[in-house]
Chains A and B, each alone.
Chain A
Amino acid sequence: MKRVVVNEKWCLGCHLCEYNCAFSNSGMKDMVKALKGRDIFPRIRVEDGGDITFAVSCRHCKDAICVKSCISGALSKKDGVVTIDKSKCVGCYTCILVCPYGAITNDGEGAVQKCELCLSTTAGTPACVAGCPNRALTLDDDDIETADARG
Chain B
Amino acid sequence: MGVEFIYPEFEVVRNSSRCIACRVCERQCANEVHSYDPDERVMLSDESKCVNCQRCVSLCPTRALKIVKSDCTFRENANWQSDTIKEIYKQANSGGVLLSSMGNPKMLPVYWDKILINASQVTNPSIDPLREPMETRVFLGKKPRSIERDEGGKIKNNLTPQLELSMPVMFSAMSYGSISYNAHKSLAEAATRLGICYNTGEGGLHEDFYVYGPNTIVQVASGRFGVFADYLDAGAAIEIKMGQGAKPGIGGHLPGKKIVGDVSRTRMIPEGSDAISPAPHHDIYSIEDLRQLVYSLKEATQYKKPVIVKVAAVHNIAAIASGIARSGADIIAIDGFRGGTGAAPTRIRDNVGIPIELALAACDRRLREEGIRNDVSLVVGGSIRSASDVIKAVALGADACYVATAALLALGCHLCRTCHTGNCNWGIATQRPELVKRLNPETGAERLYNLMTAWRHEIKELMGGMGINSIEALRGNRLMLRGVNMTEKELEILGISHAGE
Residues of chain B lying within 8 A (CB to CB) of residue A12: 27-28, 434, 437-438
Return 17 A-B CB contacts under 8 Å, by A number: A10-B437, A13-B27, A14-B28, A14-B59, A16-B22, A16-B61, A19-B22, A19-B24, A20-B61, A23-B61, A31-B61, A36-B18, A36-B19, A36-B20, A37-B41, A51-B433, A135-B440
B residues apposed to A, CB below 8 Å: 17-20, 22-24, 27-28, 41, 58-59, 61-62, 64, 433-434, 437-440, 442-443
A134 part of interface (Cβ distance < 8 Å): yes
- Tell whether A31 pairs with B438 under 8 Å between CB atoms, given A15-B23, A15-B24: no
Residues of chain B lying within 8 A (CB to CB) of residue A10: 437, 440
Given A20-B61, A131-B61, 20 more A-B residue pairs with CB atoms under 8 Å apart are A9-B437, A10-B437, A12-B434, A14-B28, A15-B22, A15-B23, A19-B20, A19-B22, A19-B24, A31-B20, A31-B62, A32-B18, A32-B62, A32-B64, A37-B20, A37-B41, A51-B433, A134-B437, A134-B438, A134-B443
A37 to B40, CA, bound (A): 11
A133 part of interface (Cβ distance < 8 Å): yes
A65 part of interface (Cβ distance < 8 Å): no
Residues of chain A lying within 8 A (CB to CB) of residue B59: 14, 16, 133
Residues of chain B lying within 8 A (CB to CB) of residue A31: 20, 61-62
* Distance to closest chain B CB from A132 (angstroms): 10
- Tell whether A19 pairs with B61 under 8 Å between CB atoms, given A13-B27, A14-B27, A36-B20: yes
A7 to B64, CA, bound (A): 29
Residues of chain B lying within 8 A (CB to CB) of residue A131: 61
Closest to B58 in A: A133
* Distance to closest chain A CB from B3 (angstroms): 40
Residues A35 and B28 in contact, CB atoms below 8 Å apart = no
Within A25-55, the residues touching B (CB, 8 Å) are 31-32, 35-37, 51
Residues of chain B lying within 8 A (CB to CB) of residue A35: 20, 22
Of A14, A16, A19, A32, the residue contacting B17 (CB under 8 A) is A32
A16 to B62, CA, bound (A): 11
Closest to B446 in A: A135
Closest to A10 in B: B440
- Tell whether A14 pairs with B24 under 8 Å between CB atoms, given A9-B437, A19-B61, A134-B438: yes
* Distance to closest chain B CB from A4 (angstroms): 17
Closest to A8 in B: B437
Residues of chain A lying within 8 A (CB to CB) of residue B18: 32, 36
A135 to B17, CA, bound (A): 29
The interface centre, meaning the residue of A16, A37, A133, A136 with most chain B CB atoms within 10 A of its CB, is A133
A35 to B62, CA, bound (A): 10
Residues of chain A lying within 8 A (CB to CB) of residue B439: 134
Residues of chain A lying within 8 A (CB to CB) of residue B58: 133
* Distance to closest chain B CB from A28 (angstroms): 12
* Distance to closest chain B CB from A67 (angstroms): 32
Residues of chain B lying within 8 A (CB to CB) of residue A20: 61
* Distance to closest chain B CB from A66 (angstroms): 29
Residues A134 and B440 in contact, CB atoms below 8 Å apart = yes
Residues of chain B lying within 8 A (CB to CB) of residue A135: 440, 442-443
* Distance to closest chain B CB from A125 (angstroms): 16
Residues of chain B lying within 8 A (CB to CB) of residue A14: 24, 27-28, 59
A51 to B435, CA, bound (A): 11
Q: List the 6 shortest-distance A-B pairs measured between CB atoms, nearest first.
A: A35-B20, A19-B22, A10-B440, A36-B20, A134-B440, A14-B24
